[in-house]
Amino acid sequence: MPVDPADCKVVPADLDGCFPDDFYSSTNFRTQVRLKGEWIDVEDQEMDCGIVIDPEGTAARCIPMTEVRKGYQIVVGHAGVRVFPAETEVKRSLFEFMASPVSSEKPKGVTVREIARAMERAKKAGEKILAVLGPAVVHTGGVEPVTRLIRGGYVNLLFAGNALATHDIEQALYGTSLGVSLDRGLPADEGHEHHLRAINTMRRLGSIAKAVEKGVLKSGIMYECIKHQIPFVLAGSIRDDGPLPEVITDVLAAQTEMRKQIPGVGFCLMVATMLHSIATGNLLPGWVKVGCVDINPSTVTKLMDRGSTQTVGIVSDAEPFLRSLAQELGV
């Protein structure tokens, strides 16, 4: 036998413009309160208000905090209040406040920690960590933290394009990225030519690997990959200049090479590239966890729209994210 539900509890406001301490905080869902054994509809339904009971104790309405006057009968606690759809369902939706995966309004420290823990778990489990990186990693100044991740064993496979590798090498050779000095933030003299000269230098030497071997390329993401024998796939795109010798210009051949490298991947970190992120998302099985970081919410939205639902989307800036991640991983 169901227990007869209690009436809602009301206490008089003790201060103008304030609720009593344990006030019931309203939602925008249809709500009823139990008064004298009857379920009464709450009027003026509005979220983030309290509920006031009229002096006769027969009617209830939402009231904003500022309109409360001393002596008003305010509902406190959750007893004798019900919302439609059922409270649990409402709660779930309320608990999803701010829970959309692509909001930029999320605590960033905790997100970095979560990604770091997932990477540590993958490493410990002997699974490969795949990094998918776009050129904004370099433009924003993220080369240094990525090299720390590589040296620390947190990148076991790299998927990228001509642009990431070119600007990484441009930075190693000239200190600029797309001609912009990464020290001074200003365009360097003739800087817009640097990326093309960087590509040309690699092509003249025959490969990036040769450039490392000959001591021409002495730092950066590509340098570390070669030094630490991290396999990489540089997939071509129609906006490529050059391209670098290692770039696979046939996109089907590039896909094939990516497919070949994917088995064993346990975590995938995508940073600042819509093209390569969606391409990799297309290839990954659904149980591989993915962290996708982009300053543009639409990259994450599109990735998830296309079925990569295992993705944790993080709307944030490439360099600060990577720097915090490297720090969190202690590399």
Lay out the site mask for its own copies across 4-23 (x = CB under 8 A, - = otherwise). Answer: -----------x-xxx-x-x
* Residue 37 or 64 with smaller CB distance to its own copies: 64
The CA-atom distances, in angstroms, between 119 and each of 52, 155, 224 are: 51, 9, 19
Tell me if 44 contacts its own copies by CB under 8 A.
yes
Site for its own copies in 147-176 (CB under 8 A): none
Q: Name the pairing type of β-strands 38-43 and 30-35.
A: antiparallel
- Asked if 326 and 149 touch (Cβ cutoff 8 Å), the reply is yes
From the list 139, 155, 170, 268, which residue makes contact with its own copies (rule: CB under 8 A)?
139
Site for its own copies in 290-329 (CB under 8 A): 295-298, 301-302, 304-309, 315-317, 319-321, 323-324
Site for its own copies in 82-121 (CB under 8 A): 93-100, 102-111, 114
Left if phi > 0, otherwise alpha if psi is -120 to 50, otherwise beta: which for 185?
left
Tokens of residue 147, six digits: 């090299």
* Residue 156 or 166 with smaller CB distance to its own copies: 166
Tell me if 28 contacts its own copies by CB under 8 A.
yes
- Closest by CA to 290, choosing from 315, 310, 314, 273, is 310
- In the complex, what is the shortest distance from the CB of residue 140 to its own copies, in angstroms, rounded to a whole number? 5
- Closest by CA to 313, choosing from 87, 28, 93, 101, is 101
From the list 2, 126, 215, 263, which residue makes contact with its own copies (rule: CB under 8 A)?
263
From the list 156, 177, 261, 311, which residue makes contact with its own copies (rule: CB under 8 A)?
177
- In the complex, what is the shortest distance from the CB of residue 37 to its own copies, in angstroms, rounded to a whole number? 25
Q: Name the pairing type of β-strands 265-271 and 81-84.
A: unpaired
**Number of residues this chain uses to bind its own copies (CB under 8 A):** 117
Lay out the site mask for its own copies across 215-254 (x = CB under 8 A, - = otherwise). Answer: --------------------xxxxxxxxx-----xxxxxx
Q: Per CB under 8 A, which region of 3-11, 59-67, 116-124, 215-223 contacts its own copies?
A: 59-67
Q: How far is CA 157 from the centre of its chain?
A: 21
* Residue 199 or 225 with smaller CB distance to its own copies: 199
Q: How far is CA 163 from the centre of its chain?
A: 22
Tokens of residue 171, six digits: 């930075």
CB atoms within 10 A of CB 285: 9
DSSP letter (8 states) at residue 112:
H
Cα separation, 289 vs 193, whole angstroms: 39
From the list 32, 73, 207, 255, which residue makes contact with its own copies (rule: CB under 8 A)?
255
Tell me if 54 contacts its own copies by CB under 8 A.
no
- In the complex, what is the shortest distance from the CB of residue 155 to its own copies, in angstroms, rounded to a whole number? 20
- In the complex, what is the shortest distance from the CB of residue 64 to its own copies, in angstroms, rounded to a whole number? 7
- In the complex, what is the shortest distance from the CB of residue 1 to its own copies, in angstroms, rounded to a whole number? 30
* Residue 128 or 139 with smaller CB distance to its own copies: 139
Tell me if 178 contacts its own copies by CB under 8 A.
yes
> What's the first-to-final CA gap in the chain, in angstroms?
62
Dihedral sign of CA atoms 146, 250, 163, 106 in order = negative
- Closest by CA to 235, choosing from 206, 256, 217, 210, is 256
Tell me if 285 contacts its own copies by CB under 8 A.
yes
* Residue 106 or 151 with smaller CB distance to its own copies: 106
Q: Which H or E run contains 243? A: none
